[in-house]
A and B are shown apart, each in its own frame.
Chain A
């Protein structure tokens, strides 16, 4: 069992309250997934060629300034605009350095911070522990942005580590959370690895995330990628995905992993259970429905 939540704020002037509305949704679904949790939030983009690199280390007293100094030394020619915003074991590094070079440099650091996300819009926070504590540590209630997706995990198929927590990201500004379990993810992984796709964990969700992102790099729209996904992914899933301009939801043909949607003029909220939506303003008059199996639901920012 796991919990998923997603919120898209329709009105630009209400984006400052995204975290305030989403944090109770996330914390409530902590009861479905008490071992780890994470949230991806899409905010105003940084100007290209800057990118946001979200970094994580297990040590909550990590010296991020030392890392920044080391980064500036390594990329002296391109590190002029580099900044870092750190909060305990999480940091957002803003840099114009190419992602493949940042990734390579990170693997040589000791300890080596994990790269949680890359993009101009996306920030990702995730860790092991009670989701309520994770939300407090990273001040989820203060996050602003157009939309977010969150996940609370009760692991059933692979290890409990920060890297195995969701959301999973692949490429840039794309993330996915999953409630369910895939039974053919090893085969899918081998197929993708032969095509040059690199994996970071042995988790089933990562295979779905990298498969869909790989389809996107092959020229598919997300809808086309998901139609392929319905054919390729074997198992149970409710998947919630976010890109800079969309929040997208699908359930497998059996639809035994729950999802409920509440939509008003002000927001679209998705959750595993209604009780995590009960606090939302205007919920009494919201259009509330359960998504149908193998139908693509996508809301534009």
Chain B
């Protein structure tokens, strides 16, 4: 297939390079979904060239493979990821690793809004900044951001941890459920029912292990803990006049 090449690799390993300047997005995703599994010897590393900001790249992977994308990607890159370790050597558009199930998605640049939205498992690492609504409706995935996050990050997050090494925009953790957010820098405002809680030695261990997994060098003792005040969990008749 034009656009597919097999770079030299050590004996017993196999790698493939897919060039989006010569292949269509559909061909690349179809190769990752179908052809990858039948390669012999097994392909452990796939490099994708010339992504040029395309949407939906490397979505729905379900394979024990390392995927490296050389350049900026568009919306929903590596969405619904299972097992695969996807690295984007550039920036990512809206909805990075949306609904990730497992594996690791790493962005070396910055990510647009709604990164790791509703992620259920695995790890999302954004080495630069993440825009608004990072980790919105998180359901078990862990997210580590090397820089800052935009407004309303962690909105309605239910499970999983969000570690922010920089600052957090306004409305952080609005309507949080049981996710915990750790922020090292300045918080420009907490959302409804989000509250700062004591940062315990157990929290420090959690942050240290997530930073270590993310490969981000940062002092784990400098973080603040933000979690749900749980005041929105139940209907409060005293507030009924605020509705309807």
> Is A278 touching B72 in the complex (CB atoms < 8 A)?
yes
> Is A290 touching B112 in the complex (CB atoms < 8 A)?
yes
Proximity bits, A267-284, B CB within 8 Å = 1, else 0: 000000111111100000
Given contacts A256-B113, A275-B52, contact A290 B74 (CB under 8 A): no
A258 and B112 alpha carbons, distance in the complex (Å): 9
Give the size range of A's interface with the partner.
Answer: 10 to 19
Shortest distance from the beta carbon of A272 to any chain B beta carbon, whole Å = 10
A260 and B54 alpha carbons, distance in the complex (Å): 14
Given contacts A255-B131, A255-B150, contact A275 B55 (CB under 8 A): yes
Q: Which residues of A contact B52 (CB under 8 A)?
A: 275, 278-279
Contact among A254, A274, A289, A292 for B72, CB-based, below 8 A: A274
Shortest distance from the beta carbon of B37 to any chain A beta carbon, whole Å = 29
> Is A274 touching B150 in the complex (CB atoms < 8 A)?
no
Give the size range of B's interface with the partner.
Answer: 10 to 19
Instruction: Indicate if A160 sits at the interface (CB-CB under 8 A).
Output: no
Q: Which residues of A contact B55 (CB under 8 A)?
A: 275
Shortest distance from the beta carbon of A69 to any chain B beta carbon, whole Å = 50
Proximity bits, A225-260, B CB within 8 Å = 1, else 0: 000000000000000000000000000001110101
Given contacts A255-B113, A258-B112, A288-B91, contact A278 B53 (CB under 8 A): yes
Given contacts A258-B94, A273-B93, contact A290 B53 (CB under 8 A): no
Given contacts A273-B53, A273-B93, A277-B53, contact A255 B132 (CB under 8 A): yes
Instruction: Name B's A-contacting residues (CB within 8 A).
Output: 52-55, 72, 74-75, 91, 93-94, 110, 112-113, 131-132, 150-151
Instruction: Name A's B-contacting residues (CB within 8 A).
Output: 254-256, 258, 260, 273-279, 288-290, 292-293
The 8 A-B pairs with the shortest beta carbon distances in the complex, nearest first, are A275-B53, A274-B53, A278-B52, A278-B53, A275-B74, A274-B72, A290-B131, A255-B132
